[in-house]
């Protein structure tokens, strides 16, 4: 599209968190405004390229500052983010206003809308005005890991570009290059779910603690049918100290279920994420009904959807674990092979 000069006025970048969507959007902004492009790509060293790479995030928590366009050091490239879980109407109106100005110094103006799934009906409708007829010299790039949350009217006006998760080998090689030992890099790469950002930011001590807690849940579901333990685990999951880890722990539980599911189907241990727990997971796999595991993953995904509307997490988690236990009690668990 760059080569043919047919880059759309509005694009939607979708894919897992932490796989480089925002960096790629900035790279497009550099390619459009580079002073010495090479084969239609940014050179990366001219003054425009260097300045576009620097986003000037507000230094204070003042909400009014975060509702403004966050400009790079280049006057034609900016970003908006949700200041408090919702992208606002005034932010979209700022983009509409700025998009109608001609570029100040480059060839194109580029506006990034991060976590576009946080558009509500009002802000989405405000954005439609500029999406319907984007000026030729302006480009909007919406970034999200949850495209299904966007209004159909937004989706229909954007060219969607899908970003695939990275492979564990790609992540592991990058981690090793950043001086992380091979064993740790292998575990992080497999637990990252294809996200480089998750692999780099993850605290291995925290991850190990999360995995230990979620393994108790799986043991209680499959091996001991201990509903008291399930309720204790649900209570711990909702304790204040673990508030920020809630979804991460669901990720870990889902990964453990998936690994046990794969082992129950005879998959080699080298292909599971938690390879170092293969002995424990094999024991669980021996008593796990594959259809049960599939249902559990769907139930966890349903819970994720409910989190968007601020449900009571404690009640919802209790319900999730007890429903999962009910699947086993209903006779889905086969005899030990």
Q: What is the pLDDT of residues 201-228, one digit of tens each?
A: 766 778 888 889 999 999 998 988 888 8
- Would you state the pLDDT for residue 131? 92
Query: Are 133 and 14 in the same domain?
Result: yes
Q: Which residues touch 201 (CB under 8 Å, ≥6 apart)?
A: 18
User: Among 129, 162, 195, where does a domain finish?
Assistant: 162
Q: Give the containing element (helix H, strand E) for 215.
A: helix 204-219
Q: What is the pLDDT of residues 27-55, one digit of tens each?
A: 999 999 999 999 889 999 999 999 999 99
User: Among 146, 162, 178, where does a domain finish?
Assistant: 162
What is this structure's pTM?
Answer: 0.74
CA angle 221, 306, 89 (to 5 degrees): 155
Mean pLDDT of the region 143-149: 90
CATH number of the structural domain spanning residue 311: 1.20.272.10
In a domain, 178, yes or no: no
Strand stretches in 155-251, DSSP E: 159-162
CATH number of the structural domain spanning residue 76: 3.40.50.300
Residue span of the structural domain in which 134 resides? 10-162
Tokens of 255: 């990964």
In a domain, 222, yes or no: yes
User: Among 162, 188, 222, where does a domain finish?
Assistant: 162
Longest dimension (CA), the chain: 71
Query: Are 147 and 222 in the same domain?
Result: no
Q: What is the pLDDT of residues 289-326, one digit of tens each?
A: 888 898 999 998 888 777 766 678 888 888 888 888 88
Query: Are 15 and 138 in the same domain?
Result: yes
Query: Are 119 and 19 in the same domain?
Result: yes
In a domain, 214, yes or no: yes
- Would you state the pLDDT for residue 333? 44
Q: Which residues touch 188 (CB under 8 Å, ≥6 apart)?
A: 171, 172, 175, 180, 199, 202, 204, 207
Query: Are 107 and 56 in the same domain?
Result: yes
**Total number of domains constituting the chain:** 2
Query: Are 25 and 153 in the same domain?
Result: yes
SS3 content of the chain, % helix, strand, coil (to 5): 55, 10, 35
Backbone phi, then psi, for 266, in 5-degree steps? 90, 15
Angle, helices 89-99 vs 121-132, to 10°: value is 10
Query: Are 224 and 277 in the same domain?
Result: yes
């Amino acid at each position: 599209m760059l080569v043919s000069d047919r880059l759309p006025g509005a694009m939607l970048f979708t894919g897992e968190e932490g796989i480089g969507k925002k960096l790629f959007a900035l790279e497009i902004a550099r390619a459009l405004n580079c002073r010495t492009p090479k084969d239609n790509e940014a050179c990366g060293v001219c003054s425009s390229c260097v300045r576009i790479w620097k986003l000037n995030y507000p230094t204070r928590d003042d909400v009014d500052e975060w509702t403004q366009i966050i400009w790079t050091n280049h006057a034609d490239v900016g970003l908006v983010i949700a200041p408090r879980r919702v992208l606002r109407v005034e932010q979209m109106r700022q983009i509409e206003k700025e998009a109608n100005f001609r570029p100040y110094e480059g060839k194109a103006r580029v506006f990034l809308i991060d976590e576009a799934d946080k558009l509500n009906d009002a802000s989405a409708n405000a954005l439609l005005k500029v999406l319907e007829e984007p000026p030729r010299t302006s480009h909007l790039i919406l970034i999200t890991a949850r495209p299904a949350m966007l209004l159909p009217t937004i989706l229909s006006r954007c060219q969607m570009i899908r970003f695939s998760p990275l492979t564990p080998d790609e992540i592991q090689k990058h981690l090793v290059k950043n001086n992380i030992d091979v064993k740790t890099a292998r575990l992080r790469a497999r637990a990252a779910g294809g996200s480089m950002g998750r692999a780099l930011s993850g605290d291995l001590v925290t991850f190990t603690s999360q995995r230990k807690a979620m393994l108790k849940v799986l043991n209680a579901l499959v091996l001991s049918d201990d509903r008291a333990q399930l309720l204790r685990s649900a209570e711990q999951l909702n304790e204040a100290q673990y508030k920020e880890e809630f979804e991460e722990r669901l990720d870990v539980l889902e990964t453990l279920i998936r690994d046990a599911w794969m082992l129950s189907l005879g998959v080699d241990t080298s292909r599971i994420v938690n390879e170092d727990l293969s002995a424990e997971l094999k024991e669980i796999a021996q008593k796990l009904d594959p259809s049960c595991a599939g249902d559990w993953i769907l139930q966890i995904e349903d819970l994720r959807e409910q989190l968007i509307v601020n449900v009571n997490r404690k009640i919802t988690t209790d319900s999730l674990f007890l429903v999962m236990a009910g699947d086993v009690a209903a006779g889905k668990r086969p005899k030990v092979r």
